[in-house]
Amino acid sequence: MTPCKTVAIAVPLEAELVDQIRAVDPSISVVYEPELLPPERYPADHAGDPAFKRTEEQEERYWAMLNSAQVLYGFPNESPAGLARVALENPGLEWVHAMAAGAGGAVKASGLSRDLLQKFRITTSAGVHALPLAEFAVMGILNGFKRSAELAEDQRARVWPELRVPTRLVNGSNLAVAGLGEIGLETARIARALGMKVSGTKRNVEPIAGIDHVVDNDGLPALLATADAVVNTLPGTAYTEKLFNRELFAAMKPGTTFVNVGRGTVVDEEALLEALDNGQVGYACLDVFAVEPLPQDSPLWKHPKIMVSPHTSALSAAENRLITERFCSNLRTFLDGGDLPHLVDTVHFY
């Protein structure tokens, strides 16, 4: 018989989705106290309303609930500090499921020692956000090819140009995807449906159906030389820090459309601005930045060839449902003694 496990819901979640978790196995105990959780301001607002405050008694109950569980749905208070506290206080903790696809940064920010991080597992919601991120990436490609920034500027100025400027066809163009993981492959799928030819990078080079060329990062400059659009989906690690630097931007075809839905640290933002100003990059659609929130004095805000998105491209009204479905699948695997997918690498933190 499956040993009884306690699952604590650490972040806001709809009651019907909590019931879905309960239905995974009759042996589990799911602890859900909504009065201890901040209300959501919008769908999948995992941190909840920042104005929410627990009473002293509620705070004690919240941490007692978390410290009684072997499994947590979400980081406590959706923060690195919350993860650190529960890891130190809960000796029976076995598994924490993060809401984010890229939870490695938060795990690193918790400051937990390597030894402590080996005592329990942390999984991410990687893959849940692949479709919205891929749709956003393709929107960025279309914006670049169809001159949406210039059209919007003309509209604001009420300008009807005497000479109509043609746009570029997406069909038949070349896309390079840096990072052919779940997000990259979903981007490639949609791009191919529009008639694009797709190549990309993967740490372990191997053929992928529908992808023309697969290379590692060393082969990226050659891909960029023939790409009309480039999408970055890579996580932020020591190996990807400012990967897109002056040399890589110089390797691109003039007028390339560049989209970043990975991590902001992968891009040297000064080099990107130079590439936009000298025409190597014709348009940039950015959802992530090296510093977030993007500082008010950042030149990225006002650049006419940049779309700034406040790290929201992964959000969708279906997110809570999709994460819960992923967690339920993982929970079944966990109870059956299987290997959990999408584990956070506690060495490289991705």
Q: Tell me which residues are annotated as active site.
A: 263, 292, 311
SS3 7: strand
Q: How many helices (H) and strands (E) does the chain have?
A: 12, 12
CA 72 to chain CA centroid, Å, is 20
DSSP 18-71: HHHHHTT-TT-EEE--GGGSPPPSSTT-SS--TT----HHHHHHHHHHHHT-SE
Amino acid at 344: V
Q: H helices of 110-181, where? A: 114-117, 130-145, 148-157
Task: Give yes or no for a contact between 99 and 125, defined as CB atoms under 8 angstroms apart.
Answer: yes
User: How far apart are alpha carbons 346 and 228 in whole angstroms?
Assistant: 36
User: How far apart are alpha carbons 14 and 87 in whole angstroms?
Assistant: 25
User: How far apart are alpha carbons 81 and 135 in whole angstroms?
Assistant: 33
